[in-house]
Homo-oligomer: A and B are copies of this chain.
């Protein structure tokens, strides 16, 4: 079975494992106060051109989203999100478990617009008794989105602007940030993210690391006591060095970009194969996730050899499915798949 079902099917980039071995006997303080974490923070600050940013390392995405959002909102506030946002759909109500509503706005492709945010916020403040409903307290977006699509710099700037006007922190979920940076359409740098968002994170779990997300807080008013939040939410890894070592390795000489680029190239091969064989794509993704619409018999045939995930029913005989590549996707597997798909389409 060759797995395209998600982007965390393997371990970590070999250089990361190598580094874990090299550092294994070092004795360090716990909880992220070690030199590896400090060095990783420096690399990331530099890449973000954000000398004063606070950088924290957490283990996984749900934990990171929850910790960030719980650290920002007042109890009666909610997080504005696309209805397809990860926090709105696939985190078992983690945000609600901290007491906050997710205020969803409709989205066709996973993105939301500055106009939608403005409209929702205005609607709240125009109510006769705003205090009877949840007050918008921040805006959450993912880039790339859960649908593989990406924001342009202009779109991100527009969101940042409207958020600034309404004093709503803009929080960006970068679980797949590397794959956005590597997209051929990308015009946003890490420095842009740092400038335009109040808090964002750089995903490691899906981009070369065993696990880990690097949170970048640039808004001074959101920095205070963040470590209390991490600890309270169970996110303060005892051997925090493990996170430091991984991000140090990913950012000391561009490995993060390199592995991201590979994944996106592999996804591009898949995309071309689907298109060339006449399949529509559910979303226009130039990142590591591809969402072809396939007929049942094609899916059935492919499933004998490949794993991928069901996305949604399109009609009686077609479904959209998701293929993921990652830093670890093997070119020979992609080639094999492309050939198999082609052969299947010719013969059927």
Residues facing B in A122-151 (CB within 8 A) are 128-129, 131-135
Specify which chain B residues have a CB less than 8 angstroms from the CB of A102 in the assembled complex: 101
Bound form: Cα–Cα A29–B1 in Å: 11
Contact status A133-B89, CB under 8 Å: yes
Specify which chain B residues have a CB less than 8 angstroms from the CB of A241 in the assembled complex: 11
* Contact status of A91 and B132, CB under 8 A, knowing A10-B26, A30-B8, A97-B75: yes
Contact status B5-A132, CB under 8 Å: no
Instruction: Tell me the number of copies of this protein.
Output: 4
Q: Mark contacts of A40-72 with chain B using CB atoms, 8 A cut-off: 1 yes-contact digit, 0 otherwise.
A: 000000000000000000011111101100110
Specify which chain B residues have a CB less than 8 angstroms from the CB of A17 in the assembled complex: 17, 20-21, 24
Contact status B3-A27, CB under 8 Å: yes
Specify which chain B residues have a CB less than 8 angstroms from the CB of A339 in the assembled complex: none
Specify which chain B residues have a CB less than 8 angstroms from the CB of A134 in the assembled complex: 92-93, 96
Contact status B231-A91, CB under 8 Å: yes
Pick from B75, B206, B232: contact of A91, CB under 8 Å: B232
Bound form: Cα–Cα A10–B121 in Å: 33
Dominant secondary structure of chain A at its interface with chain B: loop
Pick from B11, B225, B232, B236: contact of A242, CB under 8 Å: B11
Specify which chain B residues have a CB less than 8 angstroms from the CB of A233 in the assembled complex: 94, 97, 233-234
Chain A interface residue bracket vs B? 35 or more
Bound form: Cα–Cα A17–B17 in Å: 8
Pick from B24, B61, B236: contact of A12, CB under 8 Å: B24
Contact status A231-B27, CB under 8 Å: no
Q: Is A6 an interface residue (CB 8 A)?
A: yes
Q: Is A14 an interface residue (CB 8 A)?
A: yes
Bound form: Cα–Cα A94–B134 in Å: 9
Bound form: Cα–Cα A228–B101 in Å: 14
Apart from A94-B234, A96-B100, 7 more pairs, CB < 8 Å: A3-B29, A89-B133, A92-B232, A93-B133, A94-B232, A101-B102, A131-B236
Identify the A interface with B (CB < 8 A). 1-3, 5-6, 8-12, 14, 17, 20-21, 23-31, 59-64, 66-67, 70-71, 74-76, 78, 89-94, 96-102, 128-129, 131-135, 205-206, 210-211, 225, 227-239, 241-242, 309-310, 328
